[in-house]
Amino acid sequence: MFEGILVFVAGLLVLFFGKHLFWLAAGLIAFIFGWQFFGNLFGTGIFALILSVVLGIFFAWLAVRFFRIAAYVVGFLAGAFGFPFLLGLFGIDFSWFLLAFIGGVLGVILVSAALDWGLILITAWVGAGAVLFGLQQQDWLTISGTIETVIFFGLLILGVVWQASRR
């Protein structure tokens, strides 16, 4: 129960202020990626949760100390989480590890091509996903795949527009 509320609030912060709160975005992105990665390796037990929290804290620290390096790594992690998620919205279910790798490479390319816009897109992407995940964890929102896709892209566009207007 508490997990859903925490993810929802963190998702809202990252969705609207991710570029300015990059340390929070980096920590949340690393946590989400770790939860997916370690969950696929070890199952979604306490061990995966502890590893994911440690990874999130480490990346929040990394974002404060080494911004540019953290931006590239977070671009990779966000792409690795986001690409399989995006394809899943359209019913494409393939090897998670392969899709995560492809998405990670795309995330690094996005951040390296345009750091400012790359961070805005990545943080809005992760924020929108976290908001939806938090709502679903709380059972506040029971929706079909199509409506979920529309809400996700609506939140994504709202987050990008909001962050871009405050550059």
Angle between helix 67-89 and helix 22-42 axes, rounded to 10 deg: 50
The answer to whether residues 83 and 102 touch, using CB atoms and an 8 Å cutoff, is yes
User: Where do the H-state alpha helices sit in 43-114?
Assistant: 46-65, 67-89, 96-113
Q: Tokens 């480490």 — which residue?
A: 58
pLDDT tens digit sequence for 36-93 = 788 888 887 889 889 989 999 999 999 999 988 988 988 898 888 788 878 887 778 7
In this predicted structure, the answer to whether residue 24 has a pLDDT above a threshold of 70 is: yes
pLDDT over threshold 80, residue 21: yes
For the cut 70, the answer to whether the pLDDT of residue 9 exceeds it is yes
Residue 19 near residue 142, CB atoms below 8 Å: no
Q: What is the pTM of this model?
A: 0.77
Predicted pLDDT at 140: 67
